[in-house]
């Protein structure tokens, strides 16, 4: 063996030794966040903070003819936008890691650990499990990579956004959820779109993407495993509002998981919605967000009605940009939806600080990512009545924030009238509360609808008692309707429903209400929920 060959052998040996240490390090601390339960992947190694130098030395860094300022500050070589250099390095590293020490990673079994739970994929289990993941993956056009220069975005540096999105896909494909819902998907970049479509397609998924209106650059992606679902229909919903937001509706039928029910009359269909609501930059936008949810539920109702569909489970996934204290949360709860994560952990509506899922651009941490579930046995109020209650709830919140009691509120609403509220006075009070009179406010039709719901007897005025009952309390649905629904089981059909078995947020610190400083995959946590299909009677009558 000549000196050159000896040198190459020594270099290769040293490379394998470092790879082994890297693999071991990442197995115990994959992202530097303390997560000890994520299987290492090639791009989690690239993103590991302690191995940046290693990846540069052994993989080769993108070449640049001139030195420039790094987006992270300091002098550094500017990342190249040429694909062959970066992907070639990755390919070579993957080939090396598939041999030698990388074999250790293959012995970790078929249990994928996420956060504090292990979600099993047993091939022959009698009770099939459906898993659903929702994840706002932070579009590169929004990801700031230099705090000193807010205009510097990851989208300007191909190497960075490509590596991060490969890491995201590595995690998604190792987790292999039955349903994947992504927000802030960079639909405006063809290379990234092809990356997701190709890798998800190769892994057995069928996917659908939808960009926001007015070419905002990002949008949504929903993907389901082809072997688990038959696609019955796919619809797109454009809100056509100031936020340019959209939603996806996917109608699927369970295929393989519930094959033991094929000879029964049990329907095995699901409606899945993926959305990303507007961020509430100011209080006037809270009404816009509420209307976005209202439009989603209206669309789902009309879809079921137009296609003569029977009640079936509905999953609403996404980034809702609002916490459990907000009006959107209360609106969905009034419609019978439950937060799957809170259900799995036995949290109540009052447990608003148990977990977080997002750190926003202001540095605030909050719980905004949900997978909502509505089973077909749940009683539902009239949608319009729930929306009215939600708007009056917002109305009451604004009054209380101004330290007004119910007496003060009645005085504000009646204006110059002595003892009653008229429509014109009601309208003027809404203007004073900034709920109308601007592009985000209530429409004239919505104002009239609110008045109709409040003026139950239709005499054109509200006295103090009616104000308390129909506006201040705004829970005037007759409770006997629910009792009637629960007593009509003999006339109901069977349908598939879901029980929540597990729900996990990752990184695990967020489950304790903390945000790890060294988590950089996104500014949102990943939420995965495990559902078990069950038979149930349809009680989802709309009263």
Residues 289, 429: one domain? no
For position 454, which CATH number holds? 1.10.238.10
Residue 171 lies in a domain: yes
167 shares its domain with 252: yes
DSSP-derived letter for residue 153 is B
Cβ burial 486-503 (10 Å sphere, 16+ → b, else e): eeeeeebeebbbbebbbb
Do both 43 and 70 map to the same domain?
yes
- Check whether residue 295 and residue 171 sit in a common domain: yes
Which parts of the chain have pLDDT scores under 50?
A: 6, 8, 11-125, 476-490, 542-543
Strand partners for 504: 528
Tens of pLDDT, residue by residue over 348-393, are: 999 989 999 999 888 899 999 999 999 998 878 899 989 999 999 9
Query: Do 360 and 434 fall within a single domain?
Result: no
Boundary (domain end) residue, out of 112, 137, 171: 112
| pLDDT computed for residue 23 by the predictor | 45
In the prediction, which pLDDT does 493 show?
77
Residues 352 and 501 placed together within one structural domain of the fold: yes
Please indicate, yes or no, if residue 483 is contained in any of the structural domains: no
Give a yes or no: residue 184 inside a domain.
yes
| Predicted local distance difference test score (pLDDT) of residue 154 | 94
What long-range pairs does 468-475 form, CB within 8 A, spacing at least 24? 468/406, 471/392, 471/395, 471/396, 471/413, 472/392, 472/396, 472/406, 472/409, 474/388, 474/389, 474/392, 474/393, 474/396, 475/389
Whether residue 69 is contained in a domain is answered as yes
pLDDT of residue 295: 96
Residue range 132-175, pLDDT digits in tens: 999 999 999 999 988 778 789 999 999 999 999 999 999 999 99
Are 152 and 209 part of one and the same domain?
A: yes
CB burial of 168-190 (b: ≥16 within 10 Å; e: otherwise) equals bbbbbbebbbbbbbbbbbbbbbe
338 and 372 co-located in one domain: yes
CATH code (residue 256)? 3.60.10.10
pLDDT in the model for residue 47: 42
17-33 pLDDT per residue, tens: 444 444 444 444 444 44
Asked if residue 404 belongs to a domain, the reply is yes
Check: CB of residue 54 under 8 Å from CB of residue 18: yes
Q: Which of 428, 451, 476 represents a domain boundary (last residue)?
A: 476
Same domain, 410 and 269: no
Total of domains in the chain: 3
Same-domain check for residues 254 and 364: yes
Residues contacting 243, CB < 8 A, separation 6+? 277, 278, 285, 288, 292
Is 174 domain-assigned? yes
User: Do 178 and 85 share a structural domain?
Assistant: no
Could you identify the residue written with the tokens 């270099």?
11
Range of the domain at 302: 129-382+493-537
Tell how strand 369-374 and strand 338-339 pair up: antiparallel
Residues 465 and 528 in one domain: no
- 28 part of a folded domain: yes
- State in Å, rounded, how far the first CA of the chain is from the last one: 85
- Name the pTM for this structure: 0.76
Q: 421 lies in a domain? A: yes
């Amino acid at each position: 063996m000549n000196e050159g060959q000896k040198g190459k052998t020594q270099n290769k040996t040293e490379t394998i030794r470092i790879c082994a240490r890297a693999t071991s390090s990442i197995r115990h601390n994959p992202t530097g966040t303390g997560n000890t339960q994520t299987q290492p992947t090639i791009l989690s190694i690239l993103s590991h903070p302690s191995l940046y130098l290693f990846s540069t030395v052994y993989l080769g860094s993108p070449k640049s003819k001139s030195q420039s300022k790094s987006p992270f500050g300091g002098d550094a070589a500017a990342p190249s936008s040429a694909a062959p250099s970066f992907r070639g390095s990755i390919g070579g590293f993957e080939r090396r890691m598939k041999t030698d020490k990388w074999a250790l990673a293959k012995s970790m079994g078929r249990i994928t650990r996420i956060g504090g739970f292990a979600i099993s994929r047993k091939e022959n289990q009698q009770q099939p499990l459906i898993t659903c993941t929702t994840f706002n993956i932070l579009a590169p056009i929004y990801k700031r990579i230099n705090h000193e220069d807010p205009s510097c975005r990851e989208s300007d540096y191909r190497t960075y956004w490509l590596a991060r999105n490969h890491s995201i896909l590595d995690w998604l494909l190792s987790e292999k959820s039955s349903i994947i819902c992504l927000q802030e998907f960079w639909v405006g970049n063809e290379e990234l779109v092809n990356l997701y479509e190709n890798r998800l397609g190769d892994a057995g998924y069928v996917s659908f993407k939808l960009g926001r209106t007015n070419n905002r650059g990002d949008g949504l992606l929903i993907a389901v495993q082809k072997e688990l679902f038959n696609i019955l229909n796919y619809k797109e919903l454009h809100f056509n509002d100031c936020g340019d937001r959209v939603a996806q509706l996917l109608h699927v039928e369970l295929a393989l998981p519930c094959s033991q029910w094929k000879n029964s009359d049990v329907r095995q269909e699901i409606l899945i919605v993926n959305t990303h609501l507007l961020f509430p930059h100011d209080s006037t936008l809270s009404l816009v967000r509420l209307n976005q949810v209202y439009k989603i539920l209206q669309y789902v109702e009309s879809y079921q009605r137009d296609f003569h569909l029977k009640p079936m489970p509905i999953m609403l996934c996404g980034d809702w940009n609002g916490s459990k204290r907000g009006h959107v949360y209360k609106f969905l709860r009034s419609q019978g939806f439950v937060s799957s994560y809170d259900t799995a952990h036995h949290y109540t509506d009052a447990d608003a600080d148990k977990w977080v899922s997002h750190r926003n651009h202001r540095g605030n941490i909050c719980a905004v990512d949900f997978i909502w579930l509505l089973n077909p046995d749940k009683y539902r109020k009239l949608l319009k009545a729930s929306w009215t209650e939600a708007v009056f709830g917002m109305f009451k919140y604004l009054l209380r924030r101004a330290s007004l009691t119910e007496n003060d509120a009645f005085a504000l609403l009646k204006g110059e009238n002595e003892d009653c509220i008229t429509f014109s006075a009601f309208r003027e009070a809404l203007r004073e509360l900034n709920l109308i009179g601007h592009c985000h406010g209530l429409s004239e039709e919505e104002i009239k609808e609110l008045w109709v719901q409040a003026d139950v007897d239709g005499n054109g005025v509200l006295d103090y008692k009616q104000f308390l009952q129909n506006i201040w309390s705004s829970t005037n649905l007759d409770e006997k309707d629910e009792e009637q629904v629960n007593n009509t089981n003999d006339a109901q059909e069977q349908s598939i429903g879901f029980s929540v078995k597990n729900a996990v947020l990752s990184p695990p610190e967020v489950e304790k209400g903390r945000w790890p400083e060294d988590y950089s995959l996104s500014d949102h946590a990943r939420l995965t929920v495990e559902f078990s299909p069950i038979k149930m009677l349809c009680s989802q009558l709309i009263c």
